[in-house]
Structure 1
Amino acid sequence: MSQFEESILVSLRRISRAIGMHSRQLKKDFHLTAPQLVCLRQLSQGPSSAGQLARAVSLSPGTVTGILDRLEARGLVERRRSLRDKRRVEVALTTAAQSLIRQAPTPLHQSFSRRLRSLPDEEQRSIDETLQQIVAMMEAQELDAAPLLSEETVLSEADDGMP
């Protein structure tokens, strides 16, 4: 194994472990997955339909529906008819969710994105091109993925892994 090959594999493993550790800590401390936290943070901006929420957080509508079902079962969100249009169902945070969000850490992808944006455009482009090559080498181009850094979105977006 060449020195570059070993270094690259170690770096990939470190990235994978960092994502996994962050996801497990979030589950342990807050009983939330990263996709659940992202949905809650988006809903803290105000009530939304499930479809609008899905678009805002870049997850499929089916994934968001499953997430909302689990959050509703935990008493963190509630679905209710819109006051303006009774045909429309809106999802809103409960007071328990508002309290939880204040305590929860920033999702990993947000802090990563903030640091990435601080790099010059050329450096960002270089990172993007290199990562696209890695995706191709791993034959992972066809995998559906949301722009979230979480173990759950790596494993399965259809099931966010939490009750």
Structure 2
Amino acid sequence: MCVLMLFNNADQLSYKEIEQATEIPASDLKRCLQSLACVKGKNVLRKEPMSKDIAEDDAFFFNDKFTSKFVKVKIGTVVTQRETEPENQETRQRVEEDRKPQIEAAVVRIMKARRVLDHNNIVTEVTKQLQSRFLPNPVVIKKRIESLIEREFLERDKADRKLYRYLA
């Protein structure tokens, strides 16, 4: 909307002028301008030279021929690019970090109800409880159990190392 408001005071604006006036980051501004000028049938702005890509030396004009039979005009945003591999990796890491407390909470709930349980049954129960949200990795579940043991929520049985006891 702030891009369109600039055209109240000017008939033509360059990409640089829009960028300076709005201070919107370049990637977001390019996506916004693509949505306003490059989508057929919904081009509220005209762009010269006409192309799909937004360049630094492009000029934009208000499209006075634009009409719509609707009171509200919905302009969808153009999706320009997908996440790069490092961003994708970082996102996966953040998701794994966010899942850790959920896994721990499931383990504590199960152990609070059962008091004593062997490792395989805990993994099965946690997987069953969390499968509606995500499929937890058994290795991650084991690490979360180890973390709970360190923080003294659980303890290993002295006789059978595969048995865990809940500490109240």
Asked whether the two chains share a fold, i.e. TM above 0.5, the reply is no
Taking structure 1 as the reference length, what is the TM-score of the superposition?
0.35
More helix by share: 1
Q: Comparing both chains, which one has the higher relative contact order based on Cα–Cα distances under 8 Å and sequence gaps of 6 or more?
A: 1
Question: Greater share of strand residues, 1 or 2?
Answer: 2
* Larger Rg belongs to: 2
